[in-house]
Structure 1
Amino acid sequence: MSRPVPRTAAVAAAVALLSGLAAAPAQAAPAEQRQRDFAAAASEFGVPQNVLLGVSYLESRWDANAGTPSTAAGYGPMHLTDLREAGVATSHHDEGSEDPRGDDARPARHPEGEAAAPPPQLQTVDEAARLAGTDAATLRSDARQNIRGGAALLAKYQRDLGKAGSGNVQDWYDAVARYSGSAEAGAAQAFADEVFETIKSGVARTTDDGQQVSLAATPDLAPPRHDGNPADVECPRSVACESVPAPYQELPKDDYGNHDLADRPKSQKIDHIVIHDTEGYWDNVLQLVQDPTYVSWHYSIRSNDGLIAQHVPTKDVAWHAGNWYVNAKSIGIEHEGFAAKGTWYTEAMYRTSAKLVRYLAHKYDIPLDRAHIIGHDNVPGTVPATIKGMHWDPGPYWDWAHYFDLMGAPLGGFGLPGSSLVTIDPDFAKNQPAFTGCEKPGQPCTLRGSEAVVLHTEPSETAPLLKDAGLHPDGSASTMDVADVGSRVATGQQYAVAEVRGDWTAIWYLGQKGWFPNPRNARVAKPAIGWVVTPKPGLASVPVFGRAYPEPEAYPANVPVQVITPLPYTLLSGQKYSSAGTVGSEYYYATTFDPADHVVVRGKLKYVQIQFGHRIAFVKADDVRIVPAF
């Protein structure tokens, strides 16, 4: 079976086709100013144009990002960093009422962290401004000047290495590594590896502000590569990875931290990989995960260069997702960044994260789809009382479509027209919901590309949003607050079609019809092939659960029975929801420091994982029929 063509390759093919038609009359000229800006800056400062393009692509994919900073305080296509403007942040684990462990058998853990200061090395805009003869504010806001500033920095790094004036692309490897801002040689070299791999393969795309930019392939390029990773980390060789262990340590009052020992996948199959963001900067995040009184996750990924730090062996259970059933069967990956503060995730981080997830998915036989590679915002509450406090990172500005392209598993477009199942797949750059609350409650967020599609109660932009009985138990409608996921769907998620009226499509969502515009010339949802669940004949509704726990009879005498508590939603007769397959019922009892006392309880009860709202959920297999959708 042939591999689907990644979108970047498809765009490159389209650009080649357009180039071949250059002589055709009456063709609208593409927006190529940014391409000319790269050429001009490369010539002015003596940097090979493909090196400048390659570095910029690894930082920003040539995007302007509406003048907002990245998760590493970087601005513009060249990611010039300015901490004065980016500010400080705290860890998202300190916010809301979520217990990251999410186990009813233990007291809730709500760790406290301190404000995270940005790392001082992330301040390149001042030197770039001096070298380019302009000021920091201009470099942050003007894409052309930003490119000049980045080219000036690269040229300076090359001069510092005693290689000024070299036209040999491979001679720029060390200057590119330094541009990463990384103090670790392995991480800087891995960044340079990715840049030179991009130069070697070539790429073309249209930026978030409509600029068409291309980098021609240099297939005979053979730069040096970094030396690999320590033997004690679980990472692919092509990324930079280090070990920063989270402590497994006894604490006073019969407590311990900050994770649980296990023997996965022998003890339990790993079903999910959960994508988080840190809401804080790198150094502080690493300090927190090394605190035995804090919580834990398996990996962290740095924004500016994509460095990966492993904290917990994947065989063990980290405390990260706020749902113990999901924790016990998942791997958690934190990404340095912010879900809402007007920031964007760097290409360097997307690439190393995608390589790590692809590696882990292959190792543990986890499907590369959005039912199994999920955000923290897709993890369900455990019981009605915990839904409101569940976290919502990595937020609506995480580019799921690009992320899956990098994994070689493109989303959307695999069904026949008129299918009763759709995959959400908007154009990220053009899809710009008017969220509020990114900086202050009620304040409009900067309009920018998003993976999120907002749902309405009727086929009209002025119709109210849907209701979420868990997030809004008072019966009020959902809102456009960036943290309110009660009436939105995410790229890659699949839903059953409930109705179509003209350019509008309705899907089943939390027991309601959710409408969104889906015009023929700008599809937001693509036909899909898969399976859906619906209540068995004779059942008016079936309960929905946030975890797939066993029946009471399955528990041994020394393990407290975990109550199977339904969420405040129901799946009604006549409605259908996308199925991710049948799963067995399990509960990992691990409340003591000695793993000899830990028990995996397995029941006869079977569940089906479904895409019920923005978050996944579970229904009992005996309550539903699973039928094909095509």
Structure 2
Amino acid sequence: MRKAVKINGVAAVAGAVVATVVLAGGPATGQQDATAAGPANEAFAAAAAEFDVPRDLVVAVGYGETHLDGHGGKPSQDNGFGVMHLVSNPKRHTLEQAADLTGAPAHALKTDLATNIRGGAAVLRALADEHGLDAADRTRLGAWYPVVAAYSGATDDRVAKMYADTVYDLLGNGVRANARGEDVVVAGQFVRPEQGRFASVRALDDVSGDVHAMDYPNSIWNPAHSANYSVGRSSAITTVVIHVTQGSYAGTISWFQNPDSQVSAHYVVRSADGEITHMVADADTAWHARSGNPYSIGIEHEGFVDDPSWFTDAMYRSSAALTTWLCDTYGIPKDRSGIVGHNEVPGNDHTDPGPHWDWDYYIQLVNGG
């Protein structure tokens, strides 16, 4: 049943279109067509018009979160759903907010593409209202920067800024995705972000002034919450464990900083460029692999197990350089006896890094290939 609600006087009517969207290529060029035929394009265009949110912004936010893949309604690591990553956990409730704003049931918001996109657009509009964006402001892509930062849910301003910067990089470079043969395109365009208070926030990769004694030198120190790991170790370090985040880079960092998550890893690697955030000191025990925690270093890789588009060459090479350093530092064998997947650690029920992780290539890189 369709249900109409209003957000600041804007009527909202729920729809239902199902599609699965997967990455099809790199940056898009040329003029995008927001009216392109097909369920995904129609869903983005309809949601943008209904809630007065720029269509390209909705696509870029969704792409940054999930590569526009809803993963069959399965949750991310921090219990987010669908292409717009609507979250339901102790600290964030954008799924419930979207249900209130649109009148759509939670199940549909989790599993139905059009309903999920509509929910994400509704949350973005609600945040825009909270930030005081009027009708004229909402026409300017740059004015949405603080709204996008807020959509991240990050409590750390540096993480929120990184999240927003990623979305605006996507707007600048363009996006091309595919929905079962249906192109979803955002053309690259010049946008000047109106950062507001975030202009004075230090970028996450700006390490000037950091006093932490870094373990791996080519990383950014941004610690997990102390409730999510144990100080010290009960065993020598003998193993590197390879993980996939089941979520975005910024979302994973934020989740490890959430004291309710009860999970962490030592390092998180970004898909696009291989940037590495260091979150738990090597000498401490991250909570990432149950029985393997005392003797291992955990490396999380941005992405989803069932979507190989996240496993870029930049990620492989950056992660392999980190693993090489760890093996040299702690005397770990540079082979599959010392470098294992999360799924291979006894007592674990996870499947990452999954069948799309190229172990042969990774081990070759670790050994200087």
How far apart, CA to CA, are the structure 2 residues paired with 1:179 and 1:236? 31
2:25 match: secondary structure: helix
Residue 20 of structure 2 corresponds to residue 49 of structure 1: no
Residue 144 of structure 2 corresponds to residue 176 of structure 1: no
Q: TM-score, normalised by structure 2?
A: 0.62
Q: 1:158 Cα deviation (Å)?
A: 0.8
Equivalence map 1:564-603=2 (5 Å): 580=364
Residue 215 of structure 2 corresponds to residue 228 of structure 1: no
Distance 1:126 1:212, change over 3 A: same
How far apart, CA to CA, are the structure 2 residues paired with 1:205 and 1:214? 6
2:343 aligns with 377
How far apart, CA to CA, are the structure 1 residues paired with 2:122 and 2:225? 35
How far apart, CA to CA, are the structure 1 residues paired with 2:68 and 2:100? 23
1:126 aligns with 96
Alpha-carbon contact 1:236-1:356 (below 8 Å) kept: no
1:312 aligns with 281
Residue 169 of structure 2 corresponds to residue 200 of structure 1: no
Q: Which amino acid aligns with 1:181?
A: G
Equivalence map 1:92-107=2 (5 Å): none
2:72 match: secondary structure: helix
Q: 1:34 Cα deviation (Å)?
A: 0.6
Equivalence map 1:172-571=2 (5 Å): 172-207=144-179, 209-219=180-190, 221-222=192-193, 224=195, 226-229=201-204, 230-232=210-212, 241-242=222-223, 244=225, 248=231, 257-258=233-234, 260=236, 274-275=242-243, 282=256, 283=258, 287=262, 298-299=266-267, 310-313=279-282, 316=283, 331-334=297-300, 359=318, 361-362=320-321, 375-377=341-343, 389=346, 391=348, 393-395=350-352, 398=353, 452=355, 490-494=356-360
Residues 498-527 of structure 1 deviation map (CA, whole Å, 9 limit, x = unaligned): xxxxxxxxxxxxxxxxxxxxxxxxxxxxxx
Distance 1:63 1:331, change over 3 A: same
How far apart, CA to CA, are the structure 2 residues paired with 1:172 and 1:373? 43
Q: 1:243 Cα deviation (Å)?
A: 5.3
Distance 1:491 1:310, change over 3 A: closer
Q: 1:56 Cα deviation (Å)?
A: 0.9
Distance 1:288 1:217, change over 3 A: closer
Q: 1:55 Cα deviation (Å)?
A: 0.7
How far apart, CA to CA, are the structure 2 residues paired with 1:52 and 1:211? 17
2:189 match: secondary structure: coil
Residue 164 of structure 2 corresponds to residue 158 of structure 1: no
Residue 72 of structure 2 corresponds to residue 66 of structure 1: yes
Distance 1:259 1:194, change over 3 A: farther
Residues 409-435 of structure 1 deviation map (CA, whole Å, 9 limit, x = unaligned): xxxxxxxxxxxxxxxxxxxxxxxxxxx
* Equivalent of 2:110 in 140, 144, 154: 140
How far apart, CA to CA, are the structure 2 residues paired with 1:174 and 1:364? 36
Alpha-carbon contact 1:275-1:394 (below 8 Å) kept: no
How far apart, CA to CA, are the structure 2 residues paired with 1:582 and 1:60? 28
How far apart, CA to CA, are the structure 1 residues paired with 2:185 and 2:365? 41
Alpha-carbon contact 2:60-2:167 (below 8 Å) kept: yes
Residues 463-518 of structure 1 deviation map (CA, whole Å, 9 limit, x = unaligned): xxxxxxxxxxxxxxxxxxxxxxxxxxx54244xxxxxxxxxxxxxxxxxxxxxxxx
Q: Which amino acid aligns with 1:134?
A: A
Q: 1:178 Cα deviation (Å)?
A: 1.0
How far apart, CA to CA, are the structure 1 residues paired with 2:53 and 2:223? 32
Alpha-carbon contact 2:62-2:85 (below 8 Å) kept: yes
Q: 1:247 Cα deviation (Å)?
A: 5.1
**Which one has more relative contact order, counting CA pairs under 8 Å at least 6 apart?**
2
Equivalence map 1:3-82=2 (5 Å): 11-12=25-26, 32-82=38-88
How far apart, CA to CA, are the structure 1 residues paired with 2:117 and 2:144? 17
Identical-residue share of aligned pairs (%):
26
Q: 1:151 Cα deviation (Å)?
A: 0.8
Q: 1:193 Cα deviation (Å)?
A: 1.4
How far apart, CA to CA, are the structure 1 residues paired with 2:71 and 2:152? 19
Alpha-carbon contact 2:218-2:276 (below 8 Å) kept: no
Q: 1:205 Cα deviation (Å)?
A: 1.8
Structure exhibiting the larger radius of gyration computed from Cα positions = 1
How far apart, CA to CA, are the structure 2 residues paired with 1:79 and 1:579? 32
How far apart, CA to CA, are the structure 2 residues paired with 1:68 and 1:124? 16
Task: Please identify which structure carries the higher helix content.
Answer: 2
How far apart, CA to CA, are the structure 1 residues paired with 2:280 and 2:340? 20
How far apart, CA to CA, are the structure 2 residues paired with 1:218 and 1:78? 22
2:299 match: secondary structure: strand
Task: Please identify which structure carries the higher strand content.
Answer: 1
Q: Which amino acid aligns with 2:147?
A: A
Alpha-carbon contact 1:52-1:151 (below 8 Å) kept: yes
How far apart, CA to CA, are the structure 2 residues paired with 1:126 and 1:236? 41
Alpha-carbon contact 2:109-2:119 (below 8 Å) kept: yes
1:174 match: secondary structure: helix
Q: Which amino acid aligns with 2:157?
A: A
How far apart, CA to CA, are the structure 2 residues paired with 1:214 and 1:234? 41
Alpha-carbon contact 2:142-2:193 (below 8 Å) kept: yes
Distance 1:139 1:243, change over 3 A: closer
Q: Which amino acid aligns with 2:161?
A: Q
Q: Which amino acid aligns with 2:162?
A: A
Distance 1:236 1:72, change over 3 A: farther
Alpha-carbon contact 2:230-2:284 (below 8 Å) kept: no
How far apart, CA to CA, are the structure 2 residues paired with 1:38 and 1:274? 35
Q: Which amino acid aligns with 2:105?
A: D
Q: What is the number of equivalent residue pairs in this alignment?
A: 306
1:242 match: secondary structure: coil
Q: 1:150 Cα deviation (Å)?
A: 1.1
Question: 5+ residue gaps in structure 2?
Answer: 1-21, 205-209, 247-251, 327-333
2:242 match: secondary structure: strand
1:150 match: secondary structure: helix
How far apart, CA to CA, are the structure 2 residues paired with 1:49 and 1:156? 16
Q: 1:310 Cα deviation (Å)?
A: 1.5
Distance 1:60 1:196, change over 3 A: same
Alpha-carbon contact 1:234-1:310 (below 8 Å) kept: no
1:205 match: secondary structure: strand
Q: Which amino acid aligns with 1:169?
A: L
Q: 1:358 Cα deviation (Å)?
A: 5.3
